[in-house]
Amino acid sequence: MKKSEDFGEWYNEIVELAGLSDKRYPIKGMNVWTPYGWKIMQHIDRYIRHYCDDTDHHEVLFPLLIPENEFSKEKEHIKGFDAEVFWVTHAGLNPLDVKMLLRPTSETAMYPMFSVWIRSHADLPLKIYQIVNVFRYETKMTRAFIRVREIHFFESHTCHADFEDAERQIRENFEITEKLMRHLCLPYKVLKRTEWDKFPGACYTVGIDMLLPSGRSLQLGSIHQYKDNFSRPYEIKYEDEKGEHKYVHQTTFGMSERLIGAVIAVHGDDKGIIMPPDIAPYQIVVVPIPAKGSVEEVYSEAKKLAQELKNNEFRVHLDLRDVRPGNKFYDWEIKGVPLRVELGPRDIANNSCVAVRRDTGEKATIKRSELQDRVNTIIASISESLLEKATKNLENNIVDATSLDNLPEKLIRVGWCGSEECGRKIETTTDRSILGNDVSDASPRKVKCVVCGKDAENVVHLSKPM
Amino acid sequence: MKKSEDFGEWYNEIVELAGLSDKRYPIKGMNVWTPYGWKIMQHIDRYIRHYCDDTDHHEVLFPLLIPENEFSKEKEHIKGFDAEVFWVTHAGLNPLDVKMLLRPTSETAMYPMFSVWIRSHADLPLKIYQIVNVFRYETKMTRAFIRVREIHFFESHTCHADFEDAERQIRENFEITEKLMRHLCLPYKVLKRTEWDKFPGACYTVGIDMLLPSGRSLQLGSIHQYKDNFSRPYEIKYEDEKGEHKYVHQTTFGMSERLIGAVIAVHGDDKGIIMPPDIAPYQIVVVPIPAKGSVEEVYSEAKKLAQELKNNEFRVHLDLRDVRPGNKFYDWEIKGVPLRVELGPRDIANNSCVAVRRDTGEKATIKRSELQDRVNTIIASISESLLEKATKNLENNIVDATSLDNLPEKLIRVGWCGSEECGRKIETTTDRSILGNDVSDASPRKVKCVVCGKDAENVVHLSKPM
């Protein structure tokens, strides 16, 4: 399995070998989260919760099922999702009076309640989030974490007194994204979608995009400004200081288990996945390497070493299986444990141990007296260099183009005047999608539209989305 | 709202006033977990995870949907659930080839995978758990946390080489139950169900039961010995040391959001709910009580006090709302925060503060220099006395009876010979259910069957279940 030769095959194989997910469940696109994969997701969720709580979002849990009549209130929204929802039509032995669908996202579950909860300006901003399963009937080929039909999903929903406060929220969401992605060591782009690619019902949509080794882009999440597009049909109004009744302005922010897919795709190598230390189920695996006659001593000393590392707040696994050390190395390399610590009789005699980095293979002999400091430093350095390497790789795969001919399978930047006509032409000519312009780009260069040649302010990114 | 006058009404009102759950969601029996209620559940889940991880269970997450053909493999099981499952019959605009149901519990989702995962005795025991939403189409009157149609649910599933190892697992589940219930300050009974009341497909079922103030019993969870009843139809086999192929023995253990219902019902009083400190979203609320001219000083000192308590690992809320202290007292009493700490100008001058227990109303003046120790002691004492009071109350509501006439609305104990004939007679005569004998009762007394008068070994509990 060579990652560089066939990324798609490599990805599927590595997900299985690393024990991240089991796709043998008898429904296509609905996979079992096995213990190792689920632990990774829980660490990611922990960071999401932390940053949301930290910014005064409150966690809630809404019902899974949405009655058809609530779902149908926002016309664009239902048009966008109609073809991909699962319908519950019967309960027990009887048909239901009102059909219900499994949430594909929770706007239409939450907004009827928002309309009850919000009365006055004192109730604003309302900032809530939930981490749940959502369902989409994907017809394209499924792929673990990247395209599934039951999706582990984070969604925050906020209501504001006006457009400007909703915009402030969107900037806060950018900050949360940045903090989260640092733990995953993932570089990304925040790109504003075209009018025809925005979320059904949104005023505008911003995608959080990354690049796969195959050259395709992967949307990891999205942030939407709804303005009052939903608050009007759902009657979410508040009384302002002057006693006037106004519609709230809303935003949403969503991310999914694709974050794990991105971690696998970006950091992994031919030996397996590589876990960023902050989300690794085990940050360190301790492997005893006994010689003949020293088994008991080495195992007992390895236990002490593992405990010492645990006491220093590392997540540690001590591998005492009755197999050869070489097999243990191999297994934990596939699973991407960031640091392996080996301990043999000579190490014990020297009061030291050997630490091997998963990302670079670098070995270091560490004095036991310096264990904590050295391991801390190495772990931090692994995170840094994973991000650095990935960032360099993303930059190397962004290509500025002035024509639409012979584009490589990379993230392409071109000038676009902003007209739908030229935009559509860019997309059909290149068989790529316009992901949009980089919202973090404070000083866009003056360019020409790649189609009509007019002056353009938009430098937009093109790719084939996954 | 008097708890003693109309428990049912009191319960519904207090759930709403305390902001634990919102039942205005437009599907009956599917309620919204509001932030305060969800925080309580998350604390409970945290303990469940802790005790499961501690006993080498691994957390997983299985798909929500189960194909009809997998569901139908164990005949008793499907008979038991047939009338109360929700069916997904359409995806997008098309009918599905194979209908799928929303899990009412996950046996039939997990066991096809177990049959793939388990090969040899080295794979045993397999011990996994998940915390998920399950669905049951309840036709009885719904009630927040106690009878809902989307249920927040913990379930562990284990596979063992033989019956005896499965029995060992069941004893471990009793220990986990005991540890968990201590955090909730809840007394309970572990009662072995009759043959006709066991879980569909089980060899035997043990209920975890408590008593509501209304005199009805509430089943909080259950533990099942399946023997090989499921492993046969689902073909879950292993190769033992001698190369023979054998069916595994299985157990399950489930508990639900009813745990919150029990906490509300048992500990609450006419002023509101009372949260056991270990699962309280806030263990302490700090209320500044400024006098004229001292507002700024008192608020600033209250902030310091709250921070000091937070630094000592307490979950603390500082109430700086612009309403009168009396209103704050009232609100936090409804929400059941275990300890209120008041701070006024005189307290500041004396380097002290006033602590008021929610459960007893007791007030104590505490020197700031002794803050941590004193608060620690009071919080521990609240937990102890909640459990003690509840235990005494349960004991006072257990009545030994030698006839079936004029039974009070309590937990009744009678002798039963064990025959189905006498058992059914007990149930129909009294309009109560036999919950079963106490499995922790090591030395059952010699009694006579309350129906036939024969010597009986079973002292069984009767009640009207909620």
Interface probe, candidates A44, A61, A71, chain B, greatest B C-beta count within 10 A? A61
DSSP element (H, E) containing A75: helix A75-81
Report how far residue B286's alpha carbon sits from residue B347's, in angstroms, rounded to the nearest whole number. Answer: 13
Q: Establish if B49 touches chain A: CB-CB under 8 angstroms.
A: no
- Calculate how close chain B gets to A300, using CA atoms only, in Å: 21
Which of B58, B91, B152 is nearest residue A86 as measured by Cβ atoms? B91
State the pTM of this model.
0.97
Peptide bond preceding B233 in cis form (omega within 30 of 0) = no
From chain B, the residues in CB contact with A90 under 8 A are 86-87, 89
> By CA distance, what is A321's nearest residue in B?
B122
Sequence-distant (6+) residues with CB within 8 A of A253 are A129, A155, A156, A173, A176, A221, A222, A223, A224
Q: Which amino acid is at A127?
A: K
**A457–B contact, CB cutoff 8 A:** no
- Residue from A36, A90, A123, A138 to probe the interface with B (highest B Cβ count within 10 Å): A90
Q: Which residues of A touch B135 (CB under 8 A)?
A: 64
Q: Is B333 helix (H, G, I), strand (E, B) or coil?
A: helix
Instruction: Give the architecture (CATH level 2) of A282-378.
Output: 3-Layer(aba) Sandwich (3.40)
* Closest by CA position to A138, among listed A157, A151, A129: A151
Whole-number pLDDT of residue B83: 87
Cβ contacts (< 8 Å) between B31 and chain A: which residues? 63
Mutate one of A21, A58, A65, A150 to test the B interface: name it (highest B CB count within 10 A): A65
**What is the pLDDT averaged over residues B193-197?**
96
Cβ-based neighbours of A299, under 8 Å, separated by 6 or more: A288, A290, A320
Nearest CB among A25, A39, A60 relative to B63 is that of A25
Q: pLDDT at position A444, please?
A: 67
Burial class (CB in 10 A: 0-12, 13-18, 19+), B246: middle
At A91, which amino acid appears?
A: A
Query: Could A62 and B150 be called an inter-chain contact, meaning their C-beta atoms sit closer than 8 Å?
Result: no
**What is the pLDDT of chain B when averaged over all its residues?**
96
**pLDDT for residue A129 is more than 80:** yes
Asked if the C-beta of A79 comes within 8 angstroms of chain B's C-beta atoms, the answer is no
* Token pair listed for A121: 């300006």
The pair of structure tokens assigned to B395 is 């004991």
The token pair at B343 is: 């701070």
Q: Determine how many CB atoms are found less than 10 A away from the CB of residue A433.
A: 18
How far apart are the C-alpha atoms of B275 and B273, rounded to whole Å?
6
User: For A398-463, CATH number?
Assistant: 3.30.110.30
Q: What is the pLDDT of residues B1-60, one digit of tens each?
A: 799 999 999 999 999 999 999 999 999 999 999 999 999 999 999 999 999 999 999 999
- The CA dihedral of B258, B260, B266, B269, to the nearest 10 degrees, is -140
Determine contact: A59 vs chain B, CB below 8 A.
yes
Asked if A85 and A137 touch (Cβ cutoff 8 Å), the reply is yes
Q: Measuring CA to CA, which residue among B453, B449, B446 is closest to residue B418?
A: B449
* Beta carbon pairs, A and B, within 8 Å: 136
Check residue B12 and give its pLDDT: 97
* Sign of CA pseudo-dihedral B314, B268, B21, B131: positive
Q: Is A113 on the interface with B (CB under 8 A)?
A: yes
Residue A280 to chain B, least CA–CA distance (Å)? 15
What tokens does B1 get?
């709202």
Nearest to B320 by CA among B351, B289, B345: B289
A60 chain-B contacts, CB cut-off 8 A: 32-35, 38
pLDDT for the residue numbered B263 = 98
Q: Which of A404, A418, A430, A422 is nearest to A458 (CA)?
A: A418
Binned at pLDDT 50, 70 and 90, residue A76 comes out as confident
| Inter-chain touch B67–A27, beta carbons under 8 Å | yes
Per-residue pLDDT tens over the stretch A395-409 = 999 999 999 999 999
User: Do the domains at A7-267 and A282-378 have one common CATH topology?
Assistant: no
Identify the closest residue of chain B to A134 by CA–CA distance. B64
Q: What is the pLDDT of residues B423-463, one digit of tens each?
A: 999 999 999 999 999 998 877 678 999 999 999 888 999 99
pLDDT-above-90 percentage for chain B? 92
User: What percentage of chain A has pLDDT greater than the value 90?
Assistant: 92
Please name the residue ranges forming H helices in B325-458: 325-334, 345-349, 371-396, 420-430
How would you label B129-161 residue by residue, b for 16+ Cβ within 10 Å and e otherwise?
Answer: bbbbbbbbbbeeeebbbbbbbbbbbbbbbbbbb
Q: Where exactly are the structural domains of chain B? A: 7-267, 284-378, 398-463
Average pLDDT of the residues in B247-253: 98
3-state secondary structure A98-151: EEEEECCCCHHHHHHHHHHHCCEHHHCCEEEEEEEEEECCCCCCCECCCECCEE
Contact B209, B398 (CB under 8 A): no
Which among B35, B87, B91 has CB closest to A90? B87
Do the strands B126-135 and B58-59 form a parallel or antiparallel pair, or are they unpaired? parallel
| DSSP type of residue B431 | T
A91–B85: do the CB atoms touch at under 8 Å? yes
User: CA B360 to CA B382: how far, in whole Å?
Assistant: 9
Query: Which CATH number does B284-378 carry?
Result: 3.40.50.800
* Mean local confidence (pLDDT), B326-346: 98
Question: B59 and A67 in contact by Cβ < 8 A?
Answer: no
Going by their DSSP bridges, the two strands B245-247 and B249-256 should be labelled as unpaired
Alpha-carbon span B277 to B275, nearest angstrom: 6
Amino acid in position B122: A
Element (H, E) at A425: helix A420-430
Nearest 5°: phi and psi at B219? -80, 120
CA distance A125 to chain B (A): 15
> H/E element holding A81?
helix A75-81
The CATH class, in words, for B7-267 is: alpha beta
CA B83 – CA B94 distance, rounded (Å): 25
Alpha helix stretches (DSSP H) within A268-407: 295-311, 325-335, 345-349, 371-396
| Angstrom distance (rounded) from CA B195 to CA A432 | 64
Query: At A127, phi and psi to the nearest 5?
Result: -130, 110
Long-range contacts of B362-370 (CB under 8 A, 24+ apart): B368/B305
Q: Among A20, A28, A86, which would you mutate to test the B interface (most chain B Cβ atoms within 10 Å of its Cβ)? A: A86
Has residue B177 got a pLDDT over 90? Answer: yes
User: pLDDT tens for residues A341-391?
Assistant: 999 999 999 999 999 999 999 999 999 999 999 999 999 999 999 999 999
pLDDT for position B379? 98
Look at residue B395 in the predicted model and tell me its pLDDT. 96
Rounded Cα gap, residues A66 and B291, in angstroms: 51
CB A64 within 8 A of CB A87: no
Tell me the average pLDDT of chain A: 96
Beta-carbon contacts of residue B395 (< 8 Å; ≥ 6 apart): none
Neighbouring residues of A33: CB distance < 8 A, sequence distance ≥ 6: A21, A41, A152, B60, B61, B62
Q: Per-residue pLDDT for B413 more than 80?
A: yes
Partner residue facing A89 (CB), from B87, B139, B150 = B87
- Asked whether the predicted pLDDT for residue A93 surpasses 90, the reply is no
Mean pLDDT of the B159-170 span: 98
Cα nearest neighbour of A26 on chain B: B67
Which of the residues B42, B60, B70, B310 would you substitute to probe the A interface, choosing the one with the greatest number of A C-beta atoms within 10 Å?
Answer: B60
A87 forms beta bridges with A101, B90
Buried b (16+ CB within 10 A) or exposed e, A124-151: bbbbbbbbbbbbbbbeeeebbbbbbbbb
Q: Out of B24, B39, B88, whose CB is closest to A113? A: B24
pLDDT of residue A79: 81
Average pLDDT, stretch A149-173? 98
Q: Which chain B residues are within 8 Å of A59, Cβ to Cβ? A: 35, 38-39, 42
Chain B segment 83-112 residues within 8 A of A by beta carbon are 83-93, 100, 102, 109, 112
Neighboring chain B residues of A92 at a CB cutoff of 8 Å: 82-85, 137, 139
Provide the chain B residues 217-256 that lie in CB contact (below 8 A) with chain A.
none
Contact call for A137 and B30, based on CB within 8 A: no
Contact B102, B64 (CB under 8 A): yes
Predicted local confidence at residue B327, as pLDDT: 98
Residue B146 predicted with pLDDT over 80: yes
Residues 115-154 of A with CB under 8 A from B: 116, 128, 133, 135, 137, 139, 150, 152
Three-state DSSP state, A314: coil
Q: Do A58 and B35 count as a contact with CB atoms less than 8 A apart?
A: yes
pLDDT of B444? 67
d(CA A374, CA B192): 55
